[in-house]
Amino acid sequence: MRLISFRKDGGWWPALQRGDQVVEIGGAGSASPQDLLRSVLLGQSFREGTTHKVADVTLGLPIPHPGKIVCLGLNYVDHAKEGGNPIPDYPAIFLRATSSLIAHGQPLLRPACSDKFDYEAELAVVIGKPARHVSEADALSHVFGYACFNDGSIRDYQRKSTQWTIGKNFDGTGAFGPSVVTSDELPAGAKGLRIACRYNGETMQDGNTGDMIFPTARTIAILSEAMTLETGDVIITGTPAGVGYARKPPVFLRAGDISEVEIEGIGTLRNPVVDA
């Protein structure tokens, strides 16, 4: 199943994507879109509503209002090495705000204050059943599905302090979507999937989710020691080697560029770049 959202009556309505068709979840007289989405994420039954053509709707974030967006840094050995960082024995964790997110097809915003806007192809994990103090063996039962994410980073601001938060939270710099693919359609933990980033059609990152230092189950177990992972929370799991800042010369996003993230079995997230 592929879960998306689309614009309807001034809000974002949950739907299924089947090929070039968008099938509404619920319909007239149903619960609110937020309640419908929650029931889907929890694996509850739902009814299908009106069908539309994908070309006739505006897609939004597949999870329009995620509660927490928890991100991992340096989660691939090759990426840690290309930046001259030690291999971590505990994940580097930071948070993203919802104001930093954009949907598939929407423009990534290159800020006026920096010319060091970098791309990062990442696997997103969407939580279904809440998780707190879960074991690694049980962790994947709390996953609803997986999506593509572009963890756009303003590198000079990321390094202004020991905390990465500011460089990861500029408005419109994190792309998410276009759909969430349910976990039953993918290998356990979304392991062993090719993950790539293209810059104007040229492949810049080409890795595999099997190379994560902290795989999905381990990550959920670690995070749930500290916080309750709630229904609709999103975990962003780090990027493989090939990012722009580590290249010689560096490659950064500019207005007019196209950045694409593709993950095997999940899809392609495509966004143009504009100046904010």
Phi, psi of 150 (to 5 degrees): -115, 105
The total number of structural domains that make up the chain = 2
Given this model, what pLDDT does residue 124 score?
A: 99
Quote the pTM value.
0.97
d(CA 71, CA 41): 20
Q: How far apart are the first and last CA of the chain?
A: 35
Q: Are residues 41 and 77 in the same domain?
A: no
Give a yes or no: residue 161 inside a domain. Answer: yes
In a domain, 64, yes or no: no
CATH number at residue 189: 3.90.850.10
- In tens, the pLDDT along 39-87 reads 999 999 999 999 999 999 999 999 999 999 999 999 999 998 898 888 8
* Cis geometry, peptide bond prior to residue 249 (ω within 30 degrees of 0): yes
CA–CA distance, 185 with 16 (Å, rounded to integer): 14
15 and 124 co-located in one domain: no
* Residues in CB range of 270: below 8 A, 6 or more apart: 104, 105, 258, 259, 260
**Band of pLDDT at residue 202, cut at 50, 70 and 90:** very high
Q: Domain of 191? A: 69-275
- Per-residue pLDDT, averaged over 176-193, amounts to 98
- Encoding tokens for residue 201? 């059609």
d(CA 125, CA 262): 15
**Residue 28, pLDDT score:** 57
Cβ neighbours around 258 below 10 Å, total: 14
63 lies in some domain: no
Assess whether pLDDT exceeds 70 at residue 243.
yes
Q: Is residue 77 part of a domain?
A: yes
